[in-house]
Structure 1
């Protein structure tokens, strides 16, 4: 009969009945490296022979998928036991695969076919990040290790953006490694907006909107470490990281950044004590006052963009998209036109990932994507409900909020097109699965009389 009184109990993961053999060594290092390649290198830096698929983060994530798949074939290398996130990503891949098959049956132009192939391979790269994190990051310490690296990747991106905004110079142009990598297109650069010499910046991200969303996600993670790091020095350090990432959100001059920040605050009201929420809001008010002093007009410009409503061309264009895509949706409501086949060069740019998903994968595909996000949020909710340690409950709440922010912000841009967003979301989903496995094992060990 299996025993749970092992001397290695604190670092061994169990599935509740039998020991889960977790020997996918180096998995945490693999997902960290893929994340850092996405955050530290410009989004448009590629390995030229592979075009869009030649982004270093995507290539490594595909390698992680192969690594994970090979580990499943070996009796002592695979991580056994229950893992709900495996089923969630499998269900999502089935829905987009069904839309791909439906597109093949209707016939596609060469451009559409290429787009579908690229999109499917990119989706598999995201699955590689999720599965490697869920089945390879096997201890609580390793989960924190990966998330700390994610915070620092966001910090470097924020520093690049801050230097762009302050100096009007793009240092990301020096982040190339010839002859291996080359810029696919011109970098996104600066975009004058709002007058007064203001420009929006994106750091190393693929777009200003993506940058603002990533900063909000990094902010909520940094706040967790500012509250629960062991040493006072680390708490102060991550507090400074949180202030930096919060401070650069306005310089993207993106309404989506404000929407993501508002969503994070509203969701944190549900998971944080009232006093903690109040303290964070007070710090936010002081930070807003400091931004107003250092760069007068920035917050006023951002407020004007938010209050413009239908008078803003970008808002009006997003509203007109619904009328434009209506006939396409009615033509193929269930499986859509095919995953990855909606190309702006052929049709029209849709700044709404949920609308793109409805057009390309139909109701079935939207259901798959909703269930993928929902699986992560519900699983994090179960961890928050049953975990014994306060820091575990808080981390579960933070991961649920980060996924909620990612899902809500996807209404304002074609989020899954952007590499860093895609890899970040799949990493967070995978770490939710890893946290669920670890906390569940701890409860089972304790119920079996472990000290």
Structure 2
């Protein structure tokens, strides 16, 4: 009996030991995506490994690693939680299939050597961006971690804006002093481009338009965090907003103002009348301060909108319509292959026109479907929430995607590493927001029609739940 008892005890412990989870050392998706934010914005956008061409960007290489990690995780996953249909992921897979079909079409026609190379690297870049999107879409484990990632994105945008403001004041690129071993500048850098006698800052971006898109997509999120996070100090909440607005205004670009408006329009329904008046007054005060410090910024901005038909960049975009109409009829359905319409042929300054030429009508429709699925998903998911901060976060994500989608009309954003990486990252976060809201809603459904006294209703706000508990 004395020997049987320890044996029975050891047998009884085995099931309990088998249920213990060994702590995983692998960082979660939010940690990996935080590293991606550092890689994307801290390293100048035009720096890459020369031997790898346009696929030599560190951000692209990181995206390829994310794609491999996501694929391995999907292959090993035995039970998918949450189930159901994921609109953003479906639209991205559709876009990838269309792009692959376009690549096959390109390979069936005679290609110049430079187009052949860029077609290969274009497909690699698409896989890398999709890897970041899928990692965000399926890897973010909770709404708290999603909020943490977006806070870091806003913080990165604020730092990028601060760098741009410093470049504007000093008229120096600053980052050209930084040398990164193994990386070289692949294109001419435009971080201190001059327009109207004023510096058009670009931060670490390759072009002021790329810089404007990143900040415009960060603006709705920064503004929502400032309005809906009373637990943080006033300075901590509003400093990122002020820096991002200043960075956009000092970028000397019409696109910056259009991006602010496109993002803010989506947020207006979430604001009370008092908030609208306060924000309008704050905007006037900030413009007044900028006018007092650098009056030519405001006068140049006004001239760019009033004299738009005399502006060379606007005239170039108008002339591109004629080129587009001639080339569109050649491959209207699947295009000529992603990335194969080279800048030396013509700079269209319109990503949608470029997508139509490279992936056809089917390709641009699939890309628009990604944007629409993201915007519709976060708004519909947000409306099911009664917690004000999480509800408004859905609208902020919709505003971020709207700003990016509108600015894609004004330049070829997917030709630049930072702007393309930002667009696909935020699209992935939109998919994660939709997934987390629906999974939490399914988990919160009680087994009976009426919630029990021990289980508060899923429709209660955070404050009501805490009082109920």
TM above 0.5: yes
Distance 2:279 2:121 in 1: 42
Provide Cα deviations, 1:129-183, integer angstroms capped at 9, x if missing partner.
11000111010111011111111111121121111111122221133322x2222
Distance 1:444 1:236 in 2: 38
The question of 1:330 aligning with 2:329 is answered yes
The corresponding residue for 1:382 is 380
The corresponding residue for 1:216 is 216
| TM-score (ref. length: structure 2) | 0.87
The corresponding residue for 1:269 is 268
Q: 2:64 aligns with which of 62, 65, 68?
A: 62
Q: 1:184 aligns with which of 186, 189, 192?
A: 186
Q: CA, structure 1 residues 79+350, in 2 after alignment: closer, same or farther (shift >3 Å)?
A: farther
After superposition, residues 347-426 of structure 1 pair within 5 angstroms as 347-426=345-424
The corresponding residue for 2:44 is 42
Provide Cα deviations, 1:377-422, integer angstroms capped at 9, x if missing partner.
1111211221232211100000001101111111110011111111
Total equivalences in the alignment? 425
Q: CA, structure 1 residues 218+75, in 2 after alignment: closer, same or farther (shift >3 Å)?
A: closer
The corresponding residue for 2:6 is none
Tell me, which stretches of 5 or more residues in structure 2 are unaligned?
1-23, 457-469
* Counterpart secondary structure, 1:191: strand
Provide Cα deviations, 1:220-247, integer angstroms capped at 9, x if missing partner.
11111112225232x5312111011101
Larger Rg, first or second structure (1 or 2): 2
Distance 1:319 1:108 in 2: 28
Distance 1:409 1:29 in 2: 29
Report the RMSD for the aligned CA atoms in angstroms.
Answer: 1.9
Distance 1:309 1:69 in 2: 47
The corresponding residue for 2:428 is 430
- Larger deviation: 154-163 or 61-70? 154-163
Distance 1:445 1:318 in 2: 51
- Larger deviation: 262-271 or 148-157? 262-271
Q: 1:102 aligns with which of 99, 102, 105?
A: 105
Tell me, which stretches of 5 or more residues in structure 1 are unaligned?
1-21
Runs of 4+ in 1 over 4 A off after TM superposition: 22-25, 76-80
The question of 1:113 aligning with 2:112 is answered no
8 Å CA contact 1:224, 1:395 repeated in 2: yes
Q: CA, structure 1 residues 438+230, in 2 after alignment: closer, same or farther (shift >3 Å)?
A: farther
Distance 2:33 2:48 in 1: 19
Provide Cα deviations, 1:247-271, integer angstroms capped at 9, x if missing partner.
1212111111111112223232344
- Larger deviation: 432-441 or 78-87? 78-87
8 Å CA contact 1:383, 1:436 repeated in 2: yes
Provide Cα deviations, 1:44-98, integer angstroms capped at 9, x if missing partner.
1112332221211111111001000001111359766233322121011112112
The corresponding residue for 2:161 is 158
Q: CA deviation at 1:124?
A: 0.9
8 Å CA contact 2:317, 2:349 repeated in 1: yes
Distance 1:313 1:265 in 2: 28
Distance 1:272 1:102 in 2: 49
Distance 1:162 1:106 in 2: 48
- Larger deviation: 47-56 or 28-37? 47-56
Distance 2:173 2:139 in 1: 37
* Counterpart secondary structure, 2:329: helix
Q: CA, structure 1 residues 23+400, in 2 after alignment: closer, same or farther (shift >3 Å)?
A: farther
8 Å CA contact 1:85, 1:376 repeated in 2: yes
8 Å CA contact 1:40, 1:156 repeated in 2: no
